[in-house]
Every structure is written in structure tokens, then in C-alpha cells.
A and B are shown apart, each in its own frame.
Chain A
Amino acid sequence: MATGSVPEQRLRCVQSRVGISNSVSSGHWMDPARLQCWLAGRGAAVVPVFVPPQLDNQGSSNAFYFRFKPRYQTTRYALTIALSSFPIGTRLGVVTFPVGGDSHVVPVTRRRGSLGRGPTSVTMFYDVASQSTTEREISFSVAETADVSPLQIESAMIEEVPRTILTVDANDLGADRLAFWLRQAIAEPNISDQIFDYQNNLRDASRRLGLFQHSWSDEENINTTSGSFVDMFGAPIGILHRCLYSGETTRLASWRIRAKVSNGTTAGEVRVTNSAGSTTISIPTSATSWTWLPSTAGAPSTFAIDAEDNTTANGLRGGTDDDHTFEYRRTAGAGSVQVSSISVFDAGA
């Protein structure tokens, strides 16, 4: 089966070389084939670096869950985490990636580290059982086992590990770079089948997977009994989507929440508000154990986010970030509404 190698850096194809009456050389197609392999093979950020609030996990553990739509090309994920503890007494933490998977012992330092450059950053891997683009969950847990002082997560992020070789098919989206090499015959079927015909699939694969991913952990979830909306972060955060088409000013993002209620007569909701308006996810009375909402039996909820403006110096549309405020409240009953995670992700074109 034909394969394509993944370069370490992208290049910029020179479009002006392809024009009516211009001679066509193999050089015209070497660069697009290489760029296609770069796009398909370089990994994306699944969970951008996030920092949960102060944890109180002395002698216990915290589990963090996220949802996203993976790229087919991904075979391995990497979790990079940095832990601190103060007053220092807990010198080792146990990180499990994903929850129920392999455990790793991670060094713990004071926040500033021993050299004033911060805590130790450690990376660990998780291999998928099958390649897929079906929306899925990813998770990790942190355990404080010394029972001395709580562990804090100074930084955690999940990334796709890059590939080195892609298969030339409609899923992996590799281009056989040797078929586009110098002195090779320029075969139109190669151009049609490997580059042109994969364009729309590549458009769907080249996403910004994680737009905003946050988890408080199941164990130290945030909760409210308020009937009025409460700001979940105490501040807004900016999110911009990618811009694909001419004239596009917004794009739809997908989102789910991981939530539950304290008893079967309590219900709630989470609302996100940005420049386009507000969208709500309901937490029903039946959600008495941790569950993703809307239910994963169906599609995620969606809302419009400003698309990046690639004509401006910094990409901001209208000169401002599209600030998002996440709020929640109780809508029925006398119990509490609890939220563990919010996942906002790009589910494709």
C-alpha cells in the first residue's frame, strides 16, 4: 500500500506557478503533496493547557474527563502534566492516563520548582485501540498517596502525537510523495486521486480540536443551589474558531458538559453566552450520577463562535476576542446542581 512521509515543518505552496499557459513541472506538485502530508500527520491539541482550581486531595485522587471529536490519523495521545505541592512534603504523585489505564509516578515540587523555573513537566502516552473520527471521551486522574499535603495541577494538556508515515487513502489522507518527485511522470490520476479528491476530508481533519476544555474533577466539582445564574469561572474567556469560507464570520462549535444533580427532583442548566447570544444545556432530574449532557446517544449541543479574521494583524474579528461566559443554576427541586467538566470542541465542517 502506498504511503506518504510526514514532514516536520509546513511549507507555503506558490500558487502563481500554476497558471494558464505556464509550463507544468513535477515541482508544482511536490510541494502540495508534502503540505498535505504535514496537515494530515502533524498532531493537534486535544485539551489545551488548562489549570484547575486549587485541589483538596490529601490522601485521595481526582479524575478529569473531556469530550472531543478525534482525527482519524491519531494513534497515540500524550498527556503533559506539572504538579506542585506546598508546604512540600508530598514529593511524588500518581497520574493515571486515561482513567483506568496505566499509572505513572510523577515528581512533585514547589510551584516555583527548585530552580525558579517552575515545576517539572512530565509527558506520558496512551495508544488508541482503533483509529476513528467518532466523538469520544478522554480522561486522566491524579492521586496524592503520601497523605501529607494536597497536590495541585499547575498545568495539564493532552495532544496528539505526530505520525511519521501516512497511508494513502481517504481516511489517513496521505499523498505518496515519491509519486510527485522530480523526474517522475506527472500522472493526472495521482493529482486527482491523492490531492484533489481528498480535499474535503482534509478540510474536516484539519481542525482545532480543543477550543475550550476545562475540568474541575468529579471529586471537586463546582456546585450551586442558586436559582439565578452563577458565573462558573468568575470571568469570561475568549474563544475564536477557524475561518474556512469566503464571507464567513462565525462557525459552529460543539459542546457538552459533565454534570449531575444531588437527587431525583432537582434539575439545572448551564448556559454559555458570547457575542452571538446564549445557548443552554439542561441537566435533568434523571442525571443523579455523572453523565455527559446532552446525552452521548445523540449529537452535542452547538453554538456560534466568531471565526478568526485572517485579514487582521492578530486575527481578532472587530478588534476584540469573542469572550464567553459560562454560568449555571438550579431550575427545579431543593438539591444541588454539580458540574465536573465543560468541553467545547470543533466537530468538523
Chain B
Amino acid sequence: MATSELGHYVRFDEATVASPSGTEAPFSTGHARRAIGNLNHLADQYAQRRIAWVGRTLTVDEDVIVDGVFGFLWASGSFDLHVDGTGESYALRGRLRLSSDDAVASATFRVVIAHENASLPELFEAGDHTDEITVVRSGFDWDATSLLYLDAFRIAAAQREVAAIDAVGGDPLSAVWVRARMWIFAKRQSSLAEARLSGVQLDEYIAP
């Protein structure tokens, strides 16, 4: 279980939680503890699906493709991430649909989550925000990444101010959200292979 001690939401009788209550039901320590646990569980399960697509086949887009050298394959647009109490992002469960287009030669894919303005050197730093997957297959199949996340330093680099409004027709205010992107680079073992991508899933998750 994650952050709630029971690992699930506790249903209260609807009359008990009627808002506002005409006659308040007795409110005990047990109610209080369960209510707080519910908040923890709802926050865990408020983990969002950030990326979900399948179908279009993409290959490396470089003027010259060199064996064993990473080239650009795909990048998402910017998206928000939930930030945990530690200052780190929620963990991210990734899944890529990959092919090396050959039964013998391999293709290696590097997936990176970073702030939207990350430079190429930053995108090739080691860390918990990146993973590499090597496949040898003619067709496509889904491969899971390790659980990725942005540490507090990388979250701070990704936070931006956004013009939010708190009421319909209200004046813009400054809110803070995260602008992260996913990048996928790929390299082929030899000219027999071609690195191919045809789907990505990225889901937030609070691990136990």
C-alpha cells in the first residue's frame, strides 16, 4: 500500500458526510483517522495518465544515421507532473512500443523525462529520470521502462509560472506548474536494423 495505512478509500454513510449536515453525526477519533487516510489515498490515486498513444510509426530523424550513435526519435510537448511532499515528482511508469526491424540486429532506445528547456547534454545525463531499452525484433511489442521520476532539483528546474484564473471571467493570477517533456533517442547496432517507435504510455504512480 502507498501513503494511506489501509491502502483504500473508506466509504462513509452518505448521511454522515452530508454537506452541510443538518444534524452532525458523532465524529470520533476513528472517523478522523479514516478521513485523513482517505485524503492520502485519493492523492495517491490522483496520479494522472500523461502520455497515451499508439499507431503511428516513427523512425530516427537525422541527416546522417551512424551505427551506435543516438539520434532523435520523438519528443512530447510539455506536460504537468504532480509533485510529492519530498519535492520529487510522482513516479512514472513508462511503456514503449518498439522494434529493431530485424531479427538479429538490435536497436537501443533512450527515454528521458526532463524540463522542457533541457539541453542535449542534460538529456544524456545519468539518473532516475532516464532509462534505456534494447530490443531485437522484426515486429513491434510493448516494453516497460523502470519507474522514472524527477528529483527535487529537476522538478525545481521544470517549474514555471502559468496564468491561471480562479473564477469564470476572473483576472489572470500566477500559479505554478511543471513543464516536463519526454524525449526518446535511438541508435541501431548496424545498418541491418532500424529503430522504430509506434506507441508510448506514461502514467504517474505512487509506489508502495
Contact = CB atoms under 8 A, between A and B. Distances in A.
A76 B164 contact: yes
A68 to B, nearest CB: 12
Contact of A244 (B8, B76, B164, B165): B8
A35 to B, nearest CB: 5
Interface residues of B, number: 102
Contacts of B85: 9-12
Interface of B is mostly: mixed
B206 interface: yes
Nearest to B62: A112
B199 A237 contact: yes
Contact of B45 (A36, A53, A197, A206): A206
Interface of B: 1-9, 11-12, 14, 17-21, 24, 27, 29, 31-33, 35-56, 58, 61-62, 71-72, 74-80, 82-85, 87, 93, 95, 97, 116, 118-120, 123, 140, 142, 144, 147, 159, 162-170, 173-177, 181-183, 198-203, 205-208
A239 B201 CA distance: 9
Contact of A110 (B61, B83, B202, B207): B61
A238 B164 contact: no
Q: Which 5 A-B pairs have the closest CB atoms?
A: A118-B75, A197-B19, A9-B83, A11-B85, A155-B77
Nearest to B87: A9
A197 B2 CA distance: 24
A123 B83 contact: no
Given A131-B168, A238-B95, A123 B78 contact: yes
Contacts of B206: 310
Interface of A: 6, 8-13, 15-16, 18-20, 22, 28, 31-32, 35-36, 38-39, 42-45, 48-54, 75-76, 78, 80-82, 110-113, 115-119, 121-123, 125, 127-131, 154-157, 159, 161-166, 170, 188-189, 191-193, 195-203, 206-214, 233-240, 242-246, 248, 308, 310-316, 321, 323
Nearest to B94: A314
Given A161-B165, A162-B175, 20 more contacts: A12-B3, A12-B40, A39-B43, A48-B51, A49-B53, A80-B79, A117-B183, A118-B72, A162-B80, A162-B176, A164-B164, A192-B21, A201-B19, A235-B198, A235-B199, A238-B95, A245-B11, A313-B207, A314-B205, A315-B207
30 contacts: A6-B175, A15-B37, A18-B29, A20-B29, A42-B82, A43-B177, A49-B76, A51-B56, A111-B72, A111-B74, A113-B72, A116-B62, A118-B74, A118-B75, A122-B77, A131-B168, A156-B77, A159-B80, A161-B177, A162-B80, A162-B164, A164-B164, A166-B166, A189-B24, A206-B46, A211-B52, A234-B55, A237-B52, A242-B46, A315-B203
B47 to A, nearest CB: 7
A211 B49 contact: yes
A17 to B, nearest CB: 9
B81 to A, nearest CB: 10
Interface of A is mostly: loop
